[in-house]
Amino acid sequence: MQPRRNGWLLVPSPLLGPASWEPVADVMAELGQPSAIADPTMTKRDDLDHITPWLNDILAMKPPTAEVPTVVVAHSAACPRTPLLVHQLLHKGWSIEAMILVDGRFPDGRAFTVSAPHYGTMLDGMVRPDDYLPPWPRWWGSLVEGLVVDPVARDLVFNEASPVPRSWFDQGCPVPELPPHVGRGFLSFGPGYNDACDRAHDAGWLTARLNGDHLHQVVNPGAVAATLRAMVAGMTGGRGRPGDDSPDQP
């Protein structure tokens, strides 16, 4: 049997950048799985649909391949906006087979500061005179260094982080209903997003868990790529759609 072939659109957290997905894209390329990495721009309050800058950049790239359907995979802070992004791409003629959210909040339409109000106070304490926040790695100092032990890889990822508008965290985002043919999955690393993973499972999504930290796709891209491919294979077998029983992967 020939290995399943997909195109992959990898969407980084807008708090970081494309380097956070490049190791997985390299693994996919070695496996003959074409991929493209989005560069999501941090939107502001006057971006009424929340994803216009992302959409424009992605449409300029075009699909990873026109020959096979695309799987959209989003990490961390990109997750709540990903259903709207997929919805818009479908209307632009993209063939999307599945959406997988990785270690981020479950999309429920609410703003970050509504879902986690204690973070609003923390962010207010860091806001600059221009109403921007410092780059994400500076929020945590030495606490985030352990997420990526290799200093070269860590610098590549962290150096892409840029100041972000405080108002972005107060924006909710619509969660459109996607067509039944689009599979839905959630992959978590460690316990940080167990609640989101549980919500996805309860909603009938296919879920998987890997033991790792929040940037596990940088640390162990082979395992993450293999898990993503296994999840898509599971979805095409009938899982990962609303109402299905989608047991966790090991």
| pLDDT tens-place string over residues 111-142 | 999 988 888 999 999 999 999 999 999 998 88
pLDDT of residue 247: 39
Confidence tier at 64 by pLDDT (50, 70, 90): confident
Spell out the domain ranges in the chain.
7-108+174-236
DSSP labels for 116-164?
SHHHHHHHHTT--TTSEEPPHHHHHGGGGGGGS-SHHHHHHHHTT---E
Compute CA distances 144 → 136, 163, 223, whole Å.
Answer: 10, 17, 21
Contact 111, 172 (CB under 8 A): yes
Burial class (CB in 10 A: 0-12, 13-18, 19+), 194: exposed
Provide the whole-model pTM.
Answer: 0.91
CA distance 179 to 181: 5
* CA–CA gap between residue 11 and residue 40 (Å, rounded): 7
The winner for highest mean pLDDT among 46-50, 186-190, 235-239 is 186-190
Hey, what CATH class is 7-108+174-236 in? alpha beta
CA distance 49 to 37: 21
Q: Is the dihedral of CA 60, 173, 228, 71 positive or negative?
A: negative
Residue 245 has pLDDT above 90, yes or no: no
